[in-house]
Structure 1
Amino acid sequence: MTEADSTSGEVAQSATVVVIGAGPAGLTVAALLRRCGVDCVVLERRSRAYVAQRQRAGIVESRAVRMFESWGLADLVLGGAPHDGILEFRVDGEPHFVDDTGGAEGPPARLCPQQVLVQKLTATLLAEGADLRYETADVSLHDLTGDRPTVRYRSADGTRHAITCAFVAGCDGDHGVTRSAVPDGVLTAHPLDHGIGWLTVLADAPPPAHPLLAVGSEGFAAHFPRGPHSSRYYLQCPPDDRPDAWPDARVWEALRTRLADPALTAGEITDRETFRLRSLVHDPMQYGRLFLVGDAAHIVSPMGGKGMNLALYDADLFARAVRDHVRDDDDSGLRTYSRRCLRRVWSDQEFSHWLTRTVHDAGDDTGSGPFLRHLARARLDRLFTSPTAARSFAELMTGLDPV
């Protein structure tokens, strides 16, 4: 419901849920809520074009595919090819192939870049008449501990709006406004700097036959598909390196060396970025009627592809909790939201940390030393030779571990 408030000069509106952020987390929350018959408004500070082309994650794990299937959304929002379940570890140039499905029944993971998921979710929501608002500025949250919080913002044309709601979903990432609206001392932050830097490169170059992680004395490297004719590469680098330290010639020389592929086909590099690997968890993931979803609550290092998938897990739990509240007056899902999310978060953080340390310590031991290097090599050997270790690894990769 919308009406002009002549006293404040704001356009007043009400909704059950206001979703802040139109990335994978926010759009998934909106799509799931609509399937429950729950109305919501999505606010995004960036333009639709910017959000649609933002490139980050590249795989939707099996658990998340099952989730989308359970909501009747998989065929609408999941693009990309099914993952064939094979992951290659190349250690000192020697290939080792691991089945990261573990023989689990059900749908395979999807090699679905983040921008494809966002574009398909956006198109689906707009086709259904969803209320998506881009280029919103000066977003502020009020009365979060009351029965009816208010979200205020200014639209691109300068009009000021105030939306009263039952719940706010904070899906605006690590640097968004929603977590900053929580008073100091309410949330406990658990940060970790891994002391590792990565250069990430997107190029118009042939994808690998299988996702590839390479370990060697020159440092870690990886090669992942990002479409039929494009690839994402990762190169370990000093934590404070800058992208301009990596001209094209140096990038391709390092990739050919670390991937042990002298014939690796080069292509036009369309994007490059350096960043430090870090992890972060905020506890709890709720303050009053504000629920943090995805990167607003937790950051996980890229190893294992858990970041976007954790956001999808949070979105599923939040939507179900709101549905139960609206439909059945059952608040148990809302009360346990943070605890249930964090159990999965810490499980995935542990797996990501294990894999991060393993592939980096097993290669260049300048930082870790020979003792940790031998331990990491032992872990890899166990993964390659023990069916039990391989099954455990597969459960964690697919997200089908019993958490």
Structure 2
Amino acid sequence: MQIQVGIVGAGPAGLMLSHLLHQRGVESVVLDTRTREEIEGTIRAGVLEQSSVDLMVDTGIGERVKRLGMVHHGIELRFGGRGHRIDFADLTGGRGVTIYPQHEVLKDLIAQRLADGGDIRFGVSDVQVEGITGDRPRIRFTQDGAEQQLDCALVAGCDGSRTTTRFLIPSPNPRQDHFRQYPFAWFGILAEAPPSSEELIYAHHRNGFALISTRSATVQRHYLQVDPNDSVEDWSDDRIWSELHTRVAGAEIKEGPIFSKSVLHFRSFVCEPMQHGRLFLAGDAAHTVPPTGAKGMNLAIADVHVLSRAMAEFFANSDRTALDAYTATALPRIWRAQHFSWWMTSMLHRMPEATGFDLHRQLAELDTVTRSRAGRTLLAENYVGTPFD
């Protein structure tokens, strides 16, 4: 089968790329080793920047996010037993973020691609990409026991943090991997309870960081900083609620039955360049960020916003200028997001080797940020995200 773009991975990057290419008259095939049920059923949190929501609305997949998403115009930084609100609307000209889980974004994209006649191959195996430095790369895979092949003009590696496509770019030349592992993890829970706060609470405490988040009117998502070696069995329900109350001192935390527990490890990663020959990486295949800054899914969407336009220009005019500039165009936003995520993480989390000096320095930094309009604006502008264009 011959196709313009072969896309490996049906996550936010791959599905959004296929959707945007279709709108520009470019056809694609999306491959994923997971079934549709696995993709739509993997529960993941999601905070969408203003530009991500605007893009969904503008391209016809925004009905559910506008109806079901929860718009937040601020967050609370809590330290020293007091809360300090960061007013996004006031500081960014009315912009905000929308709480809308990643799996709901995937449901929207899958439904729209199938309604548009898009080709998504779920549950394939033995995916191999070949010939990316030639004029006609190939993707070999097995579907329903039969070996198949896609002959592509271009290939997009959107296969997430467990990517195989990234390693098709030779290392260490030209591929350079920039990596940092953080010495702590997040312990996440889902609980049946009403919201504890109208907006997210980011809490600094000498015991460690805590995040009071939300999922819906009846289900809440909360996180605690823990040792990376901790397991689900180490944390009883009573211990979880006790520690949340301690770390978010002075704010009401509404309890309820906990029905999900997980441990999320922290890392930062950037692959440079994000392209080689006719292979182009997007999303977690090219970079990952700590969840503190809520940038992961938004970076994936921003990547393919750039990439879809470059690919469309290539097919419309045989012009590789934008394609060749893809990495240089996408990387500045990625590194800004890396800095913001690192800054939020380092300002709010207790490092294992932290001394009294370090804790007081963090409190002084938080006080400086919340006391100064310039500091609050810096945080707000980065959190809601800059426009894609």
Answer whether contact 2:78 2:248 (CA < 8 A) is retained. yes
SS of 2:135 mapped into structure 1: coil
Q: Distance in 2 between matches of 1:70 and 1:371?
A: 49
Task: Evaluate the alpha carbon distance shift between residue 366 and residue 296 of structure 1 in structure 2; reply closer, same or farther with a 3 A threshold.
Answer: closer
Residue number in structure 2 paired with 1:9: none
Query: Paired residue for 2:40, among 52, 62, 69?
Result: 52
1:192 counterpart residue number: 180
Where do 1:253-272 residues align within 5 Å? 253-260=242-249, 264-272=253-261
Query: Which digits, 9 at most, give the CA deviation of each residue in 1:233-279, with x for residues without a partner?
Result: 11011121111111222112211221226863322323211132111
Q: CA deviation at 1:140?
A: 0.0
Once the two structures are overlaid, the 10-residue window that deviates more, 307-316 or 369-378, is 369-378
More off after superposition, 178-187 vs 161-170 = 178-187
Q: Which residue of 2 aligns with 1:3?
A: none
Rounded to whole Å, the distance in 2 between the matches of 1:264 and 1:108 is: 24
2:170 aligned residue (172, 183, 192): 183
Q: Report the Cα offset of residue 118 of structure 1.
A: 0.7
Report if the CA contact (8 A) 1:77-1:121 is conserved: no
* SS of residue in 2 equivalent to 1:162: strand
CA distance in 2, matches of 1:396, 1:162: 42
Q: 1:203 to 1:40 in 2, by over 3 A?
A: same
Match of 2:369 in 1: 383
1:317 Cα shift?
Answer: 0.7
When residues 334 and 276 of structure 1 are mapped into structure 2, their CA distance, relative to the original with a 3 A threshold, is same
1:116 and 1:27, CA in 2 relative to 1: closer, same or farther beyond 3 A?
same
- Percent of aligned positions that are identical: 35
1:159 to 146, 163, 166: 146
Please report the RMSD computed on the Cα atoms of aligned residues, expressed in angstroms: 2.0
- Aligned residue number for residue 302 of structure 1: 291
Which stretch has the larger CA shift, 142-151 or 119-128? Answer: 119-128
Q: Is the CA contact (8 Å cut-off) linking 1:17 and 1:167 kept in structure 2?
A: yes
What pairs with 1:197-208 in structure 2 (closer than 5 Å)? 197-207=185-195, 208=197
Contact 2:72 2:99 in 1 (8 A): no
2:358 equivalent to 1:369: no
Displacement after TM superposition at 1:69 (Å): 3.9
Amino acid at match of 1:56: R
Alignment counterpart, residue 74 of structure 1, candidates 57, 62, 65: 62
Amino acid corresponding to residue 63 of structure 1 in structure 2 = S
1:3-402 matches, within 5 Å, as 13-75=1-63, 80-105=68-93, 108-155=96-143, 157-185=144-172, 186-207=174-195, 208-260=197-249, 264-361=253-350, 367-400=353-386
Aligned residues: 387
2:61–2:112 contact (8 Å) kept in structure 1: no
Q: Distance in 1 between matches of 2:273 and 2:347?
A: 29
In the TM superposition, what whole-angstrom CA distance separates every residue of 1:300-349 from its partner, at most 9, and x where no partner exists?
01111011111111011111111111123332210111111111111110
Structure 1 residues 328, 103: CA separation in 2 closer, same or farther (over 3 Å shift)?
farther
Whole-Å Cα distance in 2 between the matches of residues 264 and 296 of structure 1? 36
Unaligned stretches of 5+ residues in structure 2: none
Question: Residues 234, 18 of structure 1: CA spacing in aligned structure 2 closer, same or farther, 3 A cutoff?
Answer: same
Give the SS at the match of 1:303: helix
Amino acid aligned to 2:159:
D
For 1:42 and 1:360, how far apart are their aligned partners in 2?
A: 39
User: Structure 1 stretch 92-101 or stretch 74-83: which is displaced more?
Assistant: 74-83
Contact 2:72/2:96, CA 8 A, preserved across alignment: yes
Q: Against the structure 1 CA distance between its residues 335 and 303, is the aligned structure 2 distance closer, same or farther, given a 3 Å change threshold? A: same
Instruction: Give me the whole-angstrom Cα distance separating, in 2, the residues matched to 1:15 and 1:202.
Output: 42
1:346-399 residue CA offsets vs partner (Å, 9 max, x unmatched): 1110011011000114xxx75222233222212211221111111111111111
Indicate if the aligned counterparts of 1:293 and 1:311 stay in contact, CA closer than 8 A: yes
Point out where structure 1 has 5 or more consecutive residues left out of the alignment: 1-12
TM-score (norm 2): 0.94
TM-score by structure 1 length?
Answer: 0.91
Task: Provide Cα deviations, 1:50-75, integer angstroms capped at 9, x if missing partner.
Answer: 10022233111112223334434433
Render the CA deviation track for 1:149-196: whole Å, top value 9, x for unaligned: 0000001x2011100011111111111221133333331111111212
